[in-house]
Amino acid sequence: MPQSRLVADALGVVTICLVAVLVVLGLFCIIYSFYFRSRILGQGFSQLSYFSGPWIIRITYIFFAVWWGVGEIIRLSLLRHHGRVLDGLTLEWQEKVCKCYIISNLGFAEPCLFLTLIFLLRASLQRSGTLGHKWNVKTAGFVLVYCIPLFILQLVVILIGPKYKEDHNPKLRSYFIRAASSDANHDTTFCAYPLFSTIFLGVFATIVTIYLFWLGVGMCMLVYLPISDSLSLRSLQIDTEARRGAGKRGSISFRAMEKDETSGAAFVELSLFNPSQHSSPPGSPRLVGWSMVVPAQG
């Protein structure tokens, strides 16, 4: 369903505000990254040097984000109305701006954002190697190299696609390769997303998302395993202390049992004396083990 001009302009204003907030936050993060790194190097906080290791890649990520935001502002139809910033451009140049937007954002900025995020998350899982300048330079090179295939595909769609449709396949639908369209009066050009460009970016984003899920599992295991080991050690320590306490109580009971058995055996030994076999002289005290009742004679 086509959007009305009022809705499109409102969304354009919201987009400009969000990009402005993104730029401000990006500048703040860049300044704080330099401040954090200078504090670590100046005051000798070597324990925190790991967190400031990939600082170049973080700044590069902010740069790509700002680049993407500026491209989203340029494509807005709000800037092409009468008396606006891009109103002075001809229809041909407005169409070229839309083509540059597709190549810049869909072919370079968004893939670089995804790839930089992957390398930053992957760096958190590495035991070493993310602290030096070499890792930052190597990672920036990898991001640019991995972005080249999608960049070339977007170039093919934007530059070669229209000529291919015109010369070899006139039946091809225009929305597969069209980067811009004009209004009914043909005085304003609106940027569009070619279907082929969207498909290529979608396939790339799907692959990146699957890899991000795999990295997420690794990060969860990195957090879960130490906690699980700590809980297991704590449980083992509690069980060991409980067994030691039970062993001590058993030893006391065993010694008391031996003492009771010894006393009982002495009493039994004394009670075995029979007055008929072991008589005592008259007037002598009774033996401890004898019965208090003397059986009747006779």
Domain of 199 in residue numbering reads as: 5-236
Q: Considering the domain boundaries, does residue 118 fall inside one? A: yes
Q: Considering the domain boundaries, does residue 250 fall inside one? A: no
Whole-model pTM over 0.75: no
Which of 3-17, 94-108, 139-153 has the weakest average pLDDT?
3-17
pLDDT tens per residue, range 33-84: 888 888 877 776 666 666 667 888 889 999 999 999 999 998 888 877 766 7
Q: Considering the domain boundaries, does residue 246 fall inside one? A: no
Percentage with pLDDT > 90 across the chain: 28
Q: Considering the domain boundaries, does residue 287 fall inside one? A: no
Q: Considering the domain boundaries, does residue 214 fall inside one? A: yes
Q: What is the model's pLDDT at position 16?
A: 92
* Span between the terminal Cα atoms of the chain, in Å: 128
Structurally, how many domains does the chain consist of?
1
Q: Considering the domain boundaries, does residue 245 fall inside one? A: no
Bigger pLDDT: 297 vs 226: 226
Q: Considering the domain boundaries, does residue 228 fall inside one? A: yes
pLDDT tens per residue, range 235-280: 777 778 777 776 655 544 444 444 555 554 444 444 444 444 444 5
**Nearest CA among 32, 35, 54 for reference residue 125:** 54
Q: Considering the domain boundaries, does residue 266 fall inside one? A: no
